[in-house]
Structure 1
Amino acid sequence: MAVILKLGHSYLRKNKTQNLFIALLILLSTLLVCTSVIILANTGNQFKEMHSRTNGSHQILTFDKGLNDPQTVYDWWAAQNGVQISPLLAYRTLSGITFEGKDIANLYLYMMNTTPPPWKVDQLLFASGQESSTPAQGSVWIPTSMANSYNITVGDTVHFKTGTAVLHLTVSAVVIDVPYGAPFTNTARIWMHPTDYENDFGTFAGKEHYMMGMHFDDYDSHSSYWDRYTTETGAPFLESIMDFESISSFYLIINQMIGFIMIFLGVVMLLIALITIGFTLSDAILANYKTIGILKSLGLTSRHIVSTYVVQYALLSIIAVLPGLVLSMFVSRFIIRISVSSLQTDHAHLVIEGIGMAVFSGLLLLVLIIGFIVIYASKTRMIEPAQAIRYGMSERDNMRLAGRMNSPLANRVLFGRFPVSWVIGLRNLIKNRKSSVLMLLLTMTAASVLVFGYVVLSSINGIDRTAAKWGYDNANIAAIVVDKMTFSRAEMQHVLEEDSRITAVGWRGNVTGITLIPSDVSSDAASQSFSLNLSVLDGRYTDFGFETLRGHNPERVNEISIGVNAAKRLNKQLGDLIELYIEGEKRTFIISGIYQAISNMSLSGRITAEAVRSVNPDYDDADVAFINIIKPSQAEVIAAQLNERFKASASIVTQKMLLDSLYAEAAHILMYPMALFGLLFILVTFIIIFITCRISIRKESRTYGIHKSIGMTSGRIRSSITLGVAGLSLIGSTFGVFVGMYLLPLLLEKVLSGYGIVQIPLVLNWGGMLLIACLGMLAAVIGCWLASREIRQMSPRMLVIE
């Protein structure tokens, strides 16, 4: 045992830098794997815990169409067993808000008449501010999503536009409002004091609306309740329904993306670490082949020699795994905190689950590493002392290596025609095939990870360039109606028609369509009612850039295009018929197209304004005007001019501003983990190539000594080796660019398909992708150059004598 420990200590001391880098590689692998395990263990848990804590809604009913009596519906659900309901909440809608002198576009507000507690459903939790039963007069409560997105804090004054008037209200508290508090949402409930609500809105024209939340003891049974409602009332519910899937989707989508990326990269990192350790151990055995042969000839058994390597690398692994495990807890906490910021309070401690799973993963990683060490170290059992002393390797390996280096292809076709510097670099790669393959795979992996992260962030930041593929319009400008009572569509239409810079105008509204999921599609014996959010466009969808995956957008009164998830849930294809209740009347439509949309999880549809007018000839309920202009570069100027004229009743902004207001936060959240992954892989690339180059250079020390003895400088030899590695990394990075650009997004689509995106719209910036891919190459070149410093210390005389 003393001999084993002494030999292990000798190997550790002899290769201090190499062993330090191996320990760092194991640490980084542990960090990434354990962090991914913790994040996956917490994906959805924070939302589920908060939803349970607040007794959150499974469904939200919004009475904004006037098709159902709110009190009658409320009374029916109040009489049901197994269902808890919130109070019937009165609200008015606004979409104009100013904070710190800046107008906030694309934010739709429900100004709520706050009902004093207790509430059975959707209890509000105070993230910051003084707790009270209702807001104080002159103040409001706002949700965490709104506060985080626009940096609004307790004590700030927010200005709410109500047509001709402006409400100046102070934020007295920031609350967690689960149904309407998801990150990067454009809707928010603003909770007002009842007296403020009556005084501020009592004199305004327009109708008051209501909403209510419902919590089912068993959410899976909700369809049976709706079947009973339809049977007892004689008609399906015709107002808007927001399901639990829609409530939870934006809370979970970012964590799903981060979790997928991290577990994938964690597995890749683990495989790289194991392969590198196996390669390093194989080369360490080869480098010490002669020594092992001598030790065996002196009587040391194969078991003792295997134990020497196991002790050495097991000690390194234990030293590295423990800090990696500890660091993973801090990193995962940081990532989880920023991804669920809308569910955090100032006084609550973030509870992280999955620590036990992370510890288990760390121990499993340790066992895997030691297992690999045992497998590779067992190769020493086959070492024959005589061959080891004579060749420094097995006789068969010596003959194979000599044949490879002296082949006609190498001598006549390659080495005979290339410059000496190229030959040295190529010879280093050909002779060390295993290390060359490892470097090729490593640079390809690093480039693919870096490019994939860059493409994901670029696609989110550049969503205005692919808006139609995400389910949005592609118009240059959008005019959002703030106050329908004071807004004049005829006046705006006249102004837009008179402006020669404008080419097309389309008016869009929304209605709710109710259909039934057939019993052969649903899991229940009876048909289930299903609510579709229908976009209604007065104009041609193609004029404003709306796209479909298959088919085309509706052009006739009896045509409809539906989202991919709606088609899946209803088991519908192009050309199928679908029956919808619109404003209480049943209409039959032909499915002309199927599209993808991240909003409403693709549980939506598109119809023409003529289709709604076949039910209600007086329909004129548009809330957005899409505006196309001749020169898109003038969009900001035209929007500002129109906004100045109609600022009392509408908010007119460019499409880019609207999309940035939604997805800037998503890009901000994703930026940190993607940057972390990129840095880790750059660091790993540097470490592994440093190790492999250092090993190969030590094996070839005699050859480089001969080169120096015949007049080659250390710098020239180092440059030749580095040039070979640079060429190899260029090939690997080239493949990596295409993997990160095409293959990895296909895997991410599997995650996003449940959220309504089956084909990720990518923004490919070739200049940026090539530049980011070069970071992996740069790490490889620097690692090789630094590893070759040993050549400067080699003595030609001693190396030739050896």
Structure 2
Amino acid sequence: MAVMFKLSLSYLSKNKIQNTLIALLLLLSTLLVSTAIVILANTGNQFKEMHSRTNGSHQILTFDKGLNDPQAVHDWWAAQNGVQVSPLLTYRILSGITFGGADIPNLYLYMMNTPPPPWSVDELVFASGTQHSAPEQGSVWIPTSMANAYHISVGDTVGFKTGSSTLELNVSGIVIDVPYGAPFSNTARVWMNPTDYQHDLATLAGNENRMMGIHFNDYSMNSVYWERYNRETGIPFLESKMEFEAIASFYLIINQVIGFIMIFMGVVMLSIALMTIGFTIADAILANYRTIGILKSLGLTSQKTIGTYVIQYALLSIVAIIPGLALSIWISKWIIDISVSSLRVGNQNIPVQGLDAAILAGVLLFALVILFTVLYAKKARSIQPVQAIRYGMSETDYSRMAGRMNSPLAHWIGFTRLPVTAVLGFRHVFKNIKSSVLTLLLTTMASSVLVLGYVLLTSITGIEQTAAKWGYDNANIAAVVVNKGNFPKTELKQTLEEDSRISNAGWQGNTTGVISPESSATVKGQSISLNLSVLDGSYQELGFETLKGVNPQHANEIAIGVSVAKTSNKDLGDLIDIYIEGEKRTFLITGIYQAIANMSVSGRITIDAMRSVNPGYSEFDVIFINVNDMAQAGKVASELNEQFKDFASVVTQKTLLDSVYAEAANILIYPMSLIGLLFIIVTFIIIFSTCRINIRKESRTYGIYKSLGMTSRQIRLSLTMGMFILSSMGAILGIFAGVYLLPILLEMVLSGYGIVQLPLILHWGGMVLFTCLSIIAASLGSWFSSRIIREASPRMLVIE
């Protein structure tokens, strides 16, 4: 045992740099795998805990169309056993705020008349500020999502646009409002003092609306309650209904995307790490072939020879895995805090679960390292002392290597016609097939990760280019109606028609449709409530896209979201029965589309279809506007917004989308950068380590080259050139993997949110630039590993 331990320590001390890099590789592998496990284990936990703590709503009913009596609906639900309801909340809608001297558009606010406590549903949790029964006069409570997005703190003054004037109110509290506090949302509930609400908002034009939250003791029974509601009241619910899945979706989507990417990359990283350790051991045995042969001739057994490597890598693993676990816990907390910051109370760290799973992963990694060490070190058993002393390897390996260098492929490449430096570079690649395959695999993965991260961030920050593929319109300008009661539709319509800069416009409203239980193929006995877009105009002209088929053009046609198609088991050409305002209509499905809004639980119909049910329908929520010259879009939007600011918020499409998705890009950039950086570091470490082993193994050959007149610089350049070419091949493969293969994994996650084909923006220049990082890392790893050639004399190299 003493001999084994001394040999292990000698191996550790002899190759300090190489062993340090192996330990660093193990640390990074532990870091990525453990971080991924913790993030994945915590996906949804914080939301579920806060939803339970606040007794959060499973459904939000909004009464803004005048189709149901709010008080009657509230009373019916309040009388049900197993159901809890919030107070019937009154509110008015405002659009946009001013803060810090800047105008913030595309923020739609439910200005709430705060009811007296206690609330049985959707209790507010204070993240900052002092809790009271209601905001003090002259102050408001705002949700964490709004505060985080615009860096608003307690004590700040915010101006709320009320049309021609601005209502200045002080922020006295920042609250966690689960139904309307998700990140990436442009809708928020602002809680006002009842006196302020009556004094400042009662005189505004427009209607006062109501909403209520419903909490089910058993959410899976909600369809039973709704069937009872329809049966007992005799009037279907025709107003807007927000489901639990929609409430939870934006809390969960980022963590699920990050966790899924990291767990996949962690598995890849772990596989590469274990392969690298295996190759390192195999090459170390080959490099020490003569030494092992001499030791075996002196009586050292094969088991003890294997034991020396087991002890060596066990020590390295312990030194690397423990700090890797500690770092992974810290980094996972950091990422989780960023991704669910809207659920954080003050400066308190969000409790993290799954630490036991991370420790178990570290133990498993240690066991795998030992297992791979034993499997690869078994090669030491077959070492024959005579062959080891003569060839420095087994006679079989020696013959195979010589045959490889004289193979038809080598002659086809034409080594005899290439410059000496090129021949040496290619020789290094072909002679060390295992390390070359590892290099190719590693640079492919590193390149694919960098490309995926770049493409994903580019696609989100430039979402206005692919808005239609995410389920949005592709119009240049959107005018969102805020004050429906006195909205001057005729005046706006005339203004749009008279403005020569405007090419076309479309008026969109929303209503609720219900698919009857007999049409639901997945859950028998349950109806499907979907958001129906009603367009007075052309879907095609306004840029709405479909995955299959076309958008509706006639009163009997409909396009449905992919989630609706899947749930109801419908396809193009099928008929579907939908109840609109209590009347049954049969539609022909002409198109199927994807949309992240409403998770594709939606449909598109024409204004003619709606007016076949309600001839006087005119409840339009947004007007889409196209201009002849895109450069004029900002100016046109600004002029229209100034003219109709009392009734609508008019902004460009880019402003509309950036206000929602810029936050998502800001959150994603950190974990994606971390993963990319780790892969670059690992690429450098592995290639440095394997190249150093191969160079030491062939030290006599390079000594002969130097004795024949080649300089150290020429030899190093030739080795780096071979690595550059090999890594370039891997980088090219990585581009295609990052663009065409890895996004398929993301689509598996996003399909639950209504996106089955991830819309990507491909900037090839940027992708090539990021890909070059993996090539640079590989080339630098090869260049720095060859320093031993420069530092050694030809005589000493030959002696070695």
| 1:129-174 deviation line (CA, Å, top 9, x unaligned) | 1110101111111111111111111111222222334321111101
Report if the CA contact (8 A) 1:237-1:514 is conserved: no
Aligned pair partner of 1:626 in 624, 627, 630 = 624
| Deviation of the 1:479 alpha carbon | 1.6
Residue 531 of structure 2 aligns with which residue? 533
1 CA distance for matches of 2:641 and 2:362? 58
Residue 746 of structure 1 aligns with which residue? 744
Q: In structure 2, do the counterparts of structure 1 residues 501 and 4 end up closer, same or farther at CA, with 3 Å as the change threshold?
A: same
Report if the CA contact (8 A) 1:67-1:584 is conserved: no
Q: Report the aligned-residue RMSD.
A: 1.4
| 1:381-408 deviation line (CA, Å, top 9, x unaligned) | 1111111111111111111111122335
Residue 793 of structure 1 aligns with which residue? 791
1 CA distance for matches of 2:286 and 2:35? 35
| Deviation of the 1:2 alpha carbon | 1.1
1 CA distance for matches of 2:412 and 2:69? 91
Residue 585 of structure 1 aligns with which residue? 583
Asked if 1:710 is matched to 2:734, the reply is: no
Q: How does 1:761-772 map to 2 (within 5 A)?
A: 761-772=759-770
Which residue identity is paired with 1:41? A
Aligned pair partner of 1:647 in 645, 648, 659 = 645
Residue 572 of structure 2 aligns with which residue? 574
| Deviation of the 1:227 alpha carbon | 1.2
Report if the CA contact (8 A) 1:236-1:529 is conserved: no
Task: Give secondary structure in 2 for the equivalent of 1:106.
Answer: strand
2 CA distance for matches of 1:543 and 1:519? 32
Asked if 1:223 is matched to 2:223, the reply is: yes
| Deviation of the 1:68 alpha carbon | 1.3
Residue 41 of structure 1 aligns with which residue? 41
Which residue identity is paired with 1:722? T
Q: In structure 2, do the counterparts of structure 1 residues 320 and 463 end up closer, same or farther at CA, with 3 Å as the change threshold?
A: same
User: Is the deviation greater in 488-497 or in 184-193?
Assistant: 488-497
Provide the aligned length of Structure 1 versus Structure 2.
Answer: 800
Residue 87 of structure 2 aligns with which residue? 87
Q: How does 1:260-279 map to 2 (within 5 A)?
A: 260-279=260-279
| 1:568-597 deviation line (CA, Å, top 9, x unaligned) | 122222222222232333322221111000
Q: TM-score, normalised on structure 2?
A: 0.98
Report if the CA contact (8 A) 1:162-1:483 is conserved: no
| 1:184-217 deviation line (CA, Å, top 9, x unaligned) | 0111111111111111222233322211111111
| Deviation of the 1:254 alpha carbon | 0.4
Task: Give secondary structure in 2 for the equivalent of 1:98.
Answer: strand
Residue 691 of structure 1 aligns with which residue? 689
Task: Give secondary structure in 1 for the equivalent of 2:417.
Answer: coil
1 CA distance for matches of 2:517 and 2:654? 37
2 CA distance for matches of 1:20 and 1:181? 47
Report if the CA contact (8 A) 1:254-1:339 is conserved: yes
Which residue identity is paired with 2:566? K
Residue 489 of structure 1 aligns with which residue? 489
Residue 134 of structure 2 aligns with which residue? 134
Task: Give secondary structure in 2 for the equivalent of 1:182.
Answer: coil
Aligned pair partner of 1:605 in 603, 607, 613 = 603
Task: Give secondary structure in 1 for the equivalent of 2:541.
Answer: helix
1 CA distance for matches of 2:345 and 2:499? 50
Which residue identity is paired with 2:585? R
| Deviation of the 1:760 alpha carbon | 0.3
Residue 280 of structure 2 aligns with which residue? 280
Task: Give secondary structure in 2 for the equivalent of 1:416.
Answer: helix
Which residue identity is paired with 2:494? H
User: Is the deviation greater in 79-88 or in 761-770?
Assistant: 79-88
| 1:691-711 deviation line (CA, Å, top 9, x unaligned) | 011111111111111111111
| Deviation of the 1:354 alpha carbon | 0.5
User: Is the deviation greater in 307-316 or in 347-356?
Assistant: 347-356
Report if the CA contact (8 A) 1:162-1:482 is conserved: no
Residue 757 of structure 2 aligns with which residue? 759
Residue 545 of structure 2 aligns with which residue? 547
1 CA distance for matches of 2:743 and 2:409? 40
Q: How does 1:72-471 map to 2 (within 5 A)?
A: 72-346=72-346, 348-407=348-407, 409-411=409-411, 413-471=413-471
Which residue identity is paired with 1:766? W
| 1:729-767 deviation line (CA, Å, top 9, x unaligned) | 000000000000110001110100000000000000000
1 CA distance for matches of 2:201 and 2:569? 45
Please list every run of 5 or more consecutive structure 1 residues that lacks an aligned counterpart in the other structure: none
| Deviation of the 1:653 alpha carbon | 1.3
Q: TM-score, normalised on structure 1?
A: 0.98
Report if the CA contact (8 A) 1:128-1:345 is conserved: yes
2 CA distance for matches of 1:347 and 1:701? 58
Please list every run of 5 or more consecutive structure 2 residues that lacks an aligned counterpart in the other structure: none
Asked if 1:635 is matched to 2:609, the reply is: no
Tell me the percent identity: 67
| 1:108-130 deviation line (CA, Å, top 9, x unaligned) | 11111111111111000001011
Report if the CA contact (8 A) 2:520-2:568 is conserved: no
| 1:636-669 deviation line (CA, Å, top 9, x unaligned) | 1222222232233222211011000000000000
Q: In structure 2, do the counterparts of structure 1 residues 559 and 523 end up closer, same or farther at CA, with 3 Å as the change threshold?
A: closer
2 CA distance for matches of 1:689 and 1:413? 24
User: Is the deviation greater in 355-364 or in 158-167?
Assistant: 158-167
Report if the CA contact (8 A) 1:96-1:482 is conserved: no
Task: Give secondary structure in 2 for the equivalent of 1:508.
Answer: strand
Task: Give secondary structure in 1 for the equivalent of 2:91.
Answer: strand
Residue 658 of structure 2 aligns with which residue? 660
Residue 26 of structure 1 aligns with which residue? 26
Which residue identity is paired with 1:671? I
1 CA distance for matches of 2:160 and 2:483? 11
2 CA distance for matches of 1:534 and 1:114? 31
| 1:316-338 deviation line (CA, Å, top 9, x unaligned) | 01100000000000000000000
